[in-house]
């Protein structure tokens, strides 16, 4: 799997901000409800973030145990990590970041449209709700990117030659721009 490209996240966020702003303009023109998620979505976002973080910390503990346990450590003392769990954690982290980008972009667009009529409205609940949803999307992005970093495998010492000719990992993964993750799925 390839790591998330931050420029792609920015592009998606910008496109969704324009779409959210446009949808709000159209719905307000036809006296329809503002297309913002309900407040209960924050609880769902919190659960997703918590599960992603818990699984990511589990992978991080396994990865850090590889650094503390040298090559002479017996196999029984090393913690075991299910490769499928590591792969699913990585996929969940990336999905969390992308979903957060979509939510952030959409609700920033709604917030920007609501700001222009801030002083005309007596009830600013929609504006605050859109801001809260955008904040939840930002938290999802941060946790997704953080857990993605947790899933990266540290370089190994081995018989193969690294990039600079010194012993290390063969030229693939980070050196080739792809990145290698804890589940070793090249």
The rounded average pLDDT for each run of 10 residues, N- to C-terminus, in the chain (186 residues) is 93 97 93 92 97 95 75 61 90 97 96 81 80 97 96 65 53 51 57
Query: How long, in residues, is the chain?
Result: 186
Contact 181, 4 (CB under 8 A): no
CA–chain centroid gap for 32, Å, is 32
Q: Which residues, 6 or more positions from 143, have their beta carbon under 8 angstroms from its beta carbon? A: 49, 52, 53, 56, 93, 96, 97, 100
pLDDT at 173: 47
Question: What pLDDT does residue 140 have?
Answer: 98
What tokens were used for 46?
């919190």
Q: Report the Cα–Cα distance between both ends of the chain, in Å, rounded.
A: 7
pLDDT of residue 62: 87
Instruction: Say what the pLDDT of residue 145 is.
Output: 97
């Amino acid at each position: 799997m390839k790591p998330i490209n931050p420029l792609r996240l920015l592009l998606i966020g910008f496109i969704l901000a324009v779409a959210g702003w446009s949808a709000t303009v159209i719905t307000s023109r036809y006296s329809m409800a503002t297309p913002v998620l309900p407040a209960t979505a924050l609880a769902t976002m919190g659960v997703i973030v918590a599960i992603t973080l818990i699984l990511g910390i589990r992978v991080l503990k396994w990865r850090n145990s590889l650094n503390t346990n040298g090559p002479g450590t017996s196999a029984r003392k090393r913690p075991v990590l299910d490769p499928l769990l590591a792969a699913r954690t990585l996929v969940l982290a990336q999905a969390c970041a992308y979903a957060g980008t979509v939510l952030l972009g959409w609700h920033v667009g709604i917030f920007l449209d609501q700001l222009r009529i801030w002083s005309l409205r007596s009830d600013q609940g929609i504006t605050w709700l859109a801001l809260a949803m955008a904040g939840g999307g930002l938290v999802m992005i941060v946790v997704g990117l953080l857990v993605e970093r947790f899933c990266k495998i540290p370089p190994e010492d081995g018989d193969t030659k690294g990039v600079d000719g010194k012993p290390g990992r063969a030229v693939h993964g980070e050196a080739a721009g792809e990145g290698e993750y804890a589940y070793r799925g090249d």
